[in-house]
Amino acid sequence: MAATKKQTAGKKKPTVRPQAKKTATAKPAARPVKAAAPQKKAAAPKKARSPKPASAGAPTAEQVRKVITALKAAPVEQAAPVEQAAPAEQAAPPERAAQPERYNPAVIEPKWQKRWEHDKLYRSVIDPSRPKHYALTMLPYPSGNLHIGHWYAMAPSDARARFMRMRGYNVMFPMGFDAFGLPAENAAIKDGVHPMKRTYANIAYMREQLRSMGAMFDWEREAISSDPEYYRWTQWFFIQLFKHGLAYKKLAPVDWCPTCNTTLAREQVWGEDRHCERCGTPVIKKNLEQWFFRTTKYAEELLRFDGIDWPDKVREMQTNWIGRSEGAEVTFPVIGHQSSSTTEAQMTDDSITVFTTRPDTLWGATFMVLAPEHPLVAKLTTPERRAEVEAYIAQAIRQTDIDRESTEKEKTGVFIGAYAVNPVNGARLPIWIADYVLMTYGTGAIMAVPAHDERDFAFALKFGLPILPVIERPDRLAKSFALGGTMHDGFADALRAEGIPFEERQGSLYITIPPEKLDRYIEIARRFVRPDSWNEVVGLRWVFIFHDGVWEWDSLEAEARILARCHALEPDVRDKRTVMEMLWAVEFYRDVLYHDAYGTMIHSGPFSGTPGATAKTDVIRWLEATGKGRGTVTYRLRDWLISRQRYWGAPIPMVYCPDCGIVPVPEDQLPVTLPEDVEWLPTGQSPLKLHPTWKQTTCPNCGKPAERDTDTMDTFMCSSWYHLRYLSPHYDQGPFDPKEYDYWMPVDTYTGGAEHATMHLIYTRFFHKALRDMGIVKGDEPMLQLRNQGQILGPDGQRMSKSRGNVIDPDEQVRLYGADTVRAYLMFGYEWSEGGPWSTENIQGVVRWLNRVWTIVIETVDGRRRSGDGSPADERALRRITHQTIQKVTRDLEEFQFNTVVSALMELTNALYKYRDSLMGTAAWEEAITNLLLLTAPVAPHITEELWQRLGKPYSIHQQRWPVADPAIAAEEVITLAVQVNGKVRDHITVPADTSEDAIKAAALASEGARKYMDGKSPKNVVYVKGRLVNIVV
């Protein structure tokens, strides 16, 4: 079930997502290829272990290695019995011997896979004489079996790697396993199977499944993140980051299940209501000491994508994720609460610093809001407010993230009794706390400018806090509402006379005032307003019009004066706590009361009149000059929380000494290995924490007893550098062999799912840049080119899932059609970056195609149609198609356009059938057949290898050079051009390709269709598009 959840979460690991987790016992897939145990050191997994040494502590790396070796060597216990029975139709028909041999992938595919492996055909070694190409595709999590999605990601990537290899590049295309992680551990809690045992059994099985794909993986470069020889260096990297100040420990809120009494990883928090995976209890936040990596230090650089070819989509997602905001920090002094009940303000030493992207709205601040967790809250809260404030904080902390972050939610908050002073105008601002202000962004405190911030507006309206517009509306919309009975007779006539438009409904006037007539309107309104009432203008200007004067609504003082007079005049508005609340009651006004656009500053003291274009920068400059604030940049990106209270991960290599504090494990003592003898109890506690002795160690510094960190690292840490471990998976002098690094890095082409855009793909860039700054790696980016595949859906167009019963099992498809057909279908059936539903019907097209390829080549070998009586024109035509196909396939493979690669190959195949009776046996035929196989080799490596051999060509087709098209042969001799009259096709003309433009135009004008539709008129213009058409404009 964890897997189901993870499937929907969908962005947890840089792995190609498995469709569903397989437990160690469920393994229905029967496969034609026996999962051959590669090694013969068949020591059975050590089950009954000798008692641990009295000193206990961590097992040595050697101990763990032994177990792993045993597990790797042991036959996979849950592997299915090998199904040898070939499908009935594959049995060679004894009768009708004259029939050509049928295409039988079940025989040829395993045969060639064994041969390639035996010959180390895909072994990649440093070769300075050839250009290198590091092709990388995201590694799988060893869930237990391969999903069709893995094939969709990997098979086209393999085809492209093969293509690059045939073009002369020294290609490295490695594969490994992102082997640490939660599913194996959760499964262990259910059935007691040790995560290590399960994981390595799954890897052994999936490795064989991957082999059935016929990919050019170099298995000697395989890296498994849970091997001690791997995570030794994961830990080493942690220590390097720590030593360079990029890893730090701090108190941070984590999800906590109050029933299980433990923290939960994000993966364990389920559903919209964010409940605990095991007990269903909604999680709460709890503060714990956690390790973080300082990703924010690289926020600015991560926004730059110089020199790398990554999809815009990923770049944009990363840019949004990092979320750069320019603004200012402004400091608001706090008024002592001792005197808050008096009119005498008393300054204190305290101050609140806020971040704002709109310093141009500073004069409109009417209150302050702190996050409930803000450190100043306890200090500033007045005694009489304390009970209410503490109650609010308690419930806010209990809030789930979903509740708290929901934009639908009613605003809540409480006044803490204290006040701050607006440094720009001295206004006294009440300080509130509210959960819509997040401690984790900016400074955890805001100045509220309700007139120009939607959230502040809603909050102020709800709690009766004043709202004061300070930015002019860019649309210059002004309105006035004259309630029936508030104006003397003749008001409407006066407006009409002035040309001011209004609507009259039930005795009231709804007036929209043209900006240039604002002053005139105010004069007229003042003349007509009754002494016991008032009129007002809202929008472009904000004035209250009384019979004895026009009051500008331009400050908090004015707010108070206006409100008092209105209350005195009209009992109906006495329940309105602010001017804006009064205005909001008028439906007609609502669309002009709030806006968040930039515009000319108003009601802003000396800055009034500053145009919107420069307002922000002008104010920042002034803040800095006067010391009231400074321009700053804030990012949405948070530091990366590394700690996981989990067993199946790389232990954090840190020791806590009562005397020396936090001490890293000395590098020569790495790896800190996981203990094996742990119990799988549903306590929610990490087995590392519960283990009686594992955490006990001595301080590397002073030698006194000390404790290990019992947390492990986020598995994204492991996958942030796996591309480096592939370089030299068994190297023990460092994380990678520098010789290998210098030759192979950076990764030239990286393929995988776009769902990793904001997690893995940011982490790995951060990791590389941090290592660069430590002098460990070179260059600014780890992966030069990134391409994302889409997702294969179920045949019903829905996401594949066991519960829907729409899962396509690649093993079964391979059994039905062969790996080459599955590969070719995955490339042909979809725009690769889009994906789409699996179709059992459409795959038939590819089934037929490969059978046609098989048949035509076998016929060629048999020579049964050797006629060769085709005309020279036919030969030229076939050669032209052959060379055009070379051009198209080359270009489209380069561009990852796999679907049109296959369609071009189909067209060449169709051409061969067209000419099979006339040209078979000719040189043109030989050329076409040879190139068809070479061009198809990356797509369907087995069938092409088989047919290549049967043609008597030298092994291996995959070591041949990629064909090069001859443009002269590819060029058309005659071209057919459309003849358009006024853009509509009316005729076609066929001319030699080298016909001059003038002659073509003349021919077009003379064509029957053109003459008919020109209707005797003379052409105004004749447009010739080379090789395409002639458009006659009349």
Kind and range of the H or E run holding 692:
none
Q: By C-beta, is 356 or 645 nearer to RNA?
A: 356
**Residue 685 makes contact with RNA by CB under 7 A:** no
Q: By C-beta, is 613 or 1033 nearer to RNA?
A: 1033
Task: Name the CA radius of gyration of the chain, rounded.
Answer: 37
CA distance 231 to 416: 50
Q: What is the DSSP string of 7-19?
A: HHH--SSSSBPPS
User: Going by DSSP bridges, is the β-strand pair 1021-1025/1029-1033 parallel, antiparallel, or unpaired?
Assistant: antiparallel
Binding mask 873-912 for RNA (x = CB under 7 A): ------------------------x-xx-xx--xx--x--
Measured in whole angstroms, the distance separating CA 594 from the mean position of its chain's CA atoms is 35
3-state SS class at 58: coil
CA distance 245 to 293: 9
Site for RNA, residues 790 to 829, rule: CB under 7 A: 828-829
Which residues, in sequence order, are bridge partners of residue 651? 712
> Which tokens hold the place of 740?
């290998």
Q: Judged by CB under 7 A, which of 169, 248, 321, 551 binds RNA? A: 321
CB of 103 to RNA, least distance (A): 11
Q: Residue 43 has what DSSP assignment?
A: P
Q: By C-beta, is 345 or 847 nearer to RNA?
A: 847
CA distance 264 to 5: 14
Q: By C-beta, is 495 or 1010 nearer to RNA?
A: 1010
From 139-147, 569-577, 600-608, 1022-1030, give the range in contact with RNA by CB under 7 A.
Answer: 1022-1030
**Residue 844 makes contact with RNA by CB under 7 A:** yes
How many residues are recorded in the chain? 1034
**Residue 743 makes contact with RNA by CB under 7 A:** no
Site for RNA, residues 632 to 661, rule: CB under 7 A: 634, 636
CB of 554 to RNA, least distance (A): 22
Q: Judged by CB under 7 A, which of 83, 127, 300, 405 binds RNA? A: 405
Q: By C-beta, is 207 or 986 nearer to RNA?
A: 986
Q: Judged by CB under 7 A, which of 60, 261, 281, 320 binds RNA? A: 320
Site for RNA, residues 340 to 379, rule: CB under 7 A: 354-358, 371
Strands (E), 89-215: 132-137, 170-172, 176-177
> Which tokens hold the place of 120?
């180390």
Q: Judged by CB under 7 A, which of 220, 273, 289, 316 binds RNA? A: 316
Q: Max CA-CA distance within the chain?
A: 115
Q: By C-beta, is 270 or 830 nearer to RNA?
A: 830
**Residue 327 makes contact with RNA by CB under 7 A:** yes
CA distances from 661 to 249, 657, 704 (A): 12, 5, 12
Q: Residues binding RNA: what is the number (CB under 7 A)?
A: 90
Q: By C-beta, is 530 or 636 nearer to RNA?
A: 636
Q: Judged by CB under 7 A, which of 287, 988, 997, 999 binds RNA? A: 988
**Residue 317 makes contact with RNA by CB under 7 A:** yes
CB of 485 to RNA, least distance (A): 38
Binding mask 754-783 for RNA (x = CB under 7 A): xx--x-------------------------
From 555-563, 738-746, 774-782, 976-984, give the range in contact with RNA by CB under 7 A.
Answer: 976-984
**Residue 853 makes contact with RNA by CB under 7 A:** no
CB of 810 to RNA, least distance (A): 18
Which residues, in sequence order, are bridge partners of residue 414? 433
**Residue 183 makes contact with RNA by CB under 7 A:** no
CA distance 78 to 30: 11
CB of 1007 to RNA, least distance (A): 12
**Residue 101 makes contact with RNA by CB under 7 A:** no
CB of 171 to RNA, least distance (A): 25
CB of 525 to RNA, least distance (A): 34
**Residue 1018 makes contact with RNA by CB under 7 A:** no
Cα distance from N-terminal residue to C-terminal residue, the chain: 70
Q: What is the DSSP string of 203-267?
A: HHHHHHHHHTTT----GGG-EETTSHHHHHHHHHHHHHHHHTT-EEEEEEEEEEETTTTEE--GG
Q: Judged by CB under 7 A, which of 379, 409, 488, 778 binds RNA? A: 409
Q: By C-beta, is 674 or 977 nearer to RNA?
A: 977
Q: By C-beta, is 10 or 57 nearer to RNA?
A: 10
Neighbouring residues of 422: CB distance < 8 A, sequence distance ≥ 6: 332, 362, 363, 365, 428, 429, 447
CB of 1028 to RNA, least distance (A): 3
CA distances from 307 to 189, 504, 748, 782, 784 (A): 47, 64, 12, 11, 7
User: Going by DSSP bridges, is the β-strand pair 324-335/629-635 parallel, antiparallel, or unpaired?
Assistant: antiparallel
